[in-house]
Chains A and B, each alone.
Chain A
Amino acid sequence: MSSEIVKVHEDLKAGKISCVQLIQERLKALKNSSNNTANYLLTEFAMERASKVDEKIKNGEEIGLFEGIPFGIKDVYLLQGQYASASSDFLRNYKSPYTATAIQKLLDAGAIPIVKENCDSFGHGSSTENTVFGASKNALNEELVAGGSSGGSAVNVAKGYTVFSIGGDTGGSIRQPAGYNKVYGLKPTYGRISRYGLMAYASSTDCVGPISKSLEDILLLLNVMSGKDYHDQTSFESEQISLGVIEKQIRGNEFKIGYYKNFIENKALDPELKKDFIKFIETLKSNGVEVKELDFFDGNILVSTYYMLAMAETASNLARLDGTNYGVRHSSDSLKEGYAITRSENFTEETKRRIVGGNQVLSHGHAEEIYLKARTLREQIKEQFDKEFTEVDIILSPVSTGKPPKIGETLKDPLAMYLSDAYTVGFSLGGLPTLTSPLVTETGIQITSAKGQEEKILKFAKYIKDIVE
Chain B
Amino acid sequence: MLSKLSTKYALSAVFIAGTAAGIYAQAQAPAARPQRKAPTGQGLLGQAGAADKHIVDADAAERGKKVYIQECITCHGPTARGGQGGSDLVRSLVVLKDRYGSEIGPFLKKGHQTQGSPAAQFSKEKIEDLADFLHLKVGDTLRTSPLFRAQNVLIGDAKAGEAYFKGDGKCTQCHSPEGNLKGIGAKFEPVDLQQRFLFPKPGFGRGGKPTMVTVTPPTGPAVTGTLVQIDDFNVSLRDADGEYRAWSRINGLKVKIDDPYAAHAQLLDRITDKNIHDVTAYLETLK
Partners in one complex: no
State the A residues within 8 Å of B (CB).
none
